[in-house]
Amino acid sequence: MGFFGKAFDKIKAGLAKTKKVLTTPIQDLFVLTRKLDEKFIDELEETLITADIGVATTTKIIEDLKHKYKHKEIMEVPQVHAYLQASLLKQLQSMPRAVKFAPSGPTVILIAGVNGTGKTTSVAKLANWFRGAGKKVILGACDTFRAAAIEQLTIWSGRLGVEIVKHQMNADPAAVAFDAVEAAIARKADVLLIDTAGRLHTKQNLMTELGKIRRVIQKKLPDAPHETWLVLDATTGQNAINQAKAFNEVLQVSGLVLAKLDGTAKGGVVVAIEEQLKLPVKFVGVGEQIDDVEAFDPEAFIKALLDLDKAEAVAP
Ligand SMILES: Nc1nc2c(ncn2[C@@H]2O[C@H](COP(=O)(O)OP(=O)(O)OP(=O)(O)O)[C@@H](O)[C@H]2O)c(=O)[nH]1
Ligand SMILES: [Mg+2]
């Protein structure tokens, strides 16, 4: 197993790394000495926006809080903290988060996204993650756009000791996908992860090509791809919304991989992205190493976002 052997501990440890990279302004607001008043609520509103929780979610939470404050249902700062925790958790828990595995045969997971968001690295990390969960994994190198892309995934497959299906540069990516599905069936793989070339969501011909990859996969396995994940760069901000809309049109995206969460202090972006896209974040990327991926766990995330370990002292 070598240095990849720790994967399963990682899965069990939950969002340990996410917790380490998350430092949000929300954590600083809840101090013992604060009194609950209009000023506090205004500050909370500002802080939630600053933490990238998003306008829609923030407005909903603040309006509701103001109502509860007015009717004396919430009178102290620790109650606000508990309320905030409960509302955010409720929102995140309403999303279907678990990986949807095929009832039998290989589970095909198609990975897409704009250039440089972290697709290939995420494919490698996910391969390691699924393998840690006892799955037999195979990779499909459908980014045939650059020779370096095929090489990058080949190196990962070698390090991980998982099989890879690839063609030459400039080959039809749909043909590679077809072969990869065939190989996954033949080798009795549990999970096939398909890497695709980065593409600008506004480039119609490239988006059409993605649709073709999907249709060709379906020709071989009618209920595949079982999952289609859009990789978003957590540091991107609002443009992620436009990307997701365009990819969703050609691919019926079933979930998000939010890479580079370690590159932003605004972990709240997970909440905003889900609220706006109505798509679940299934995994988060928290670094460049092979084990820097975590299944997104709302409870652990909220705990980290609101720094609940520290807040225990403040709790009622
Ligand atoms: N800090 C950090 N860096 C990441 C993460 N995921 C990917 N990267 C880095 O982001 C850069 C781009 O990653 P790739 O996986 O090649 O991105 P891609 O989407 O496959 O890129 P294209 O195929 O060119 O579209 C690399 O330098 C990665 O190491 C992450 O979770 N955290
Ligand atoms: Mg790539």
C-beta neighbour count of 133 within 10 angstroms: 15
| Residue 284 belongs to some domain of the structure | no
Task: Write down the pLDDT at residue 295.
Answer: 93
Indicate if 119 and 253 belong to the same structural domain.
yes
Q: Are residues 131 and 218 in the same domain?
A: yes
Provide the domain limits for residue 84: 11-95+304-311
Is residue 138 in contact with ligand 1, taking CB distance under 6 Å? no
Residue 3 belongs to a domain:
no
User: Are residues 121 and 255 located together in one domain of the fold?
Assistant: yes
Are residues 141 and 47 both part of a single domain? no
Total number of domains in the chain: 2
Q: What is the pLDDT of residue 113?
A: 97
What the block records as the tokens of 275 is 């609220």
Residue 231 lies in a domain: yes
pLDDT for position 277: 87
Question: Is residue 273 a part of any domain in this protein?
Answer: no
Q: Are residues 209 and 141 in the same domain?
A: yes
* Residue bearing the CA closest to ligand 1, atom 7: 118
Closest residue by Cα to atom 13, ligand 1, is 118
Q: What atom in ligand 1 is closest to the CA of residue 143?
A: 23
Residues 133 and 220 in one domain: yes
Same-domain check for residues 62 and 118: no
Tell whether 164 and 39 lie within a shared domain: no
**Residue 271 DSSP SS3:** helix
pLDDT score of 261: 87
Does residue 268 form part of some domain?
A: no
Residue 261 CA: which ligand 1 atom is closest? 31
pLDDT digits (tens, 9 = 90+) for 206-251: 999 999 999 999 999 999 999 999 999 988 877 888 899 899 999 9
CA distance 298 to 304: 10
Q: What is the CATH number of the domain that holds 155?
A: 3.40.50.300
Residues 200 and 247 in one domain: yes
State residue 311's pLDDT score: 47
CB 141 within 8 A of CB 149: yes
Quick one: tokens of 4?
């990849």
Residue owning the nearest CA to atom 17 of ligand 1? 118
Q: Over its length of 316 residues, how does the chain's per-residue pLDDT go in tens digits? A: 333 334 334 433 445 666 666 666 677 777 767 889 999 999 999 888 888 888 999 999 999 999 999 999 999 998 998 999 999 999 999 999 999 999 999 999 999 999 999 999 999 999 999 999 999 999 999 999 999 999 999 999 999 999 999 999 999 999 999 999 999 999 999 999 999 999 998 899 999 999 999 999 999 999 999 999 999 998 887 788 889 989 999 999 999 999 998 887 677 888 888 988 899 999 999 999 999 999 998 988 888 788 765 544 444 4
Residues 120 and 44 reside in one and the same domain:
no
DSSP-derived secondary structure for 7-56: HHHHHHH-SHHHHHH---THHHH--TTPPPSHHHHHHHHHHHHHTT--HH
Ligand 1 and 260: CB distance under 6 A: yes
Distances (CA, A) of 3 to 8, 259, 290: 12, 22, 10
pLDDT at 262: 84
Closest ligand to residue 150's CA:
2
Question: What is the pTM (predicted TM-score) of this model?
Answer: 0.88
How far is residue 228 CA from its own chain's centroid? 12
CATH of the domain at 48: 1.20.120.140
42 domain-assigned: yes
303 lines ligand 1 (CB under 6 A): no
The reply to whether 5 falls in a domain is no
Would you list the DSSP string of 202-268?
A: T-HHHHHHHHHHHHHHHHHSTT--SEEEEEEETT-TTHHHHHHHHHHHHH---EEEEE-GGG-S-TT
Q: What pLDDT is attached to residue 26? A: 75
200 within a domain of the structure (yes/no): yes
**pLDDT over 70 percentage in the chain:** 88
Which single residue is written with the structure tokens 């991926």?
293
Whether 87 and 44 share a structural domain: yes
237 in the same domain as 122 = yes
Determine the pLDDT at residue 306: 80
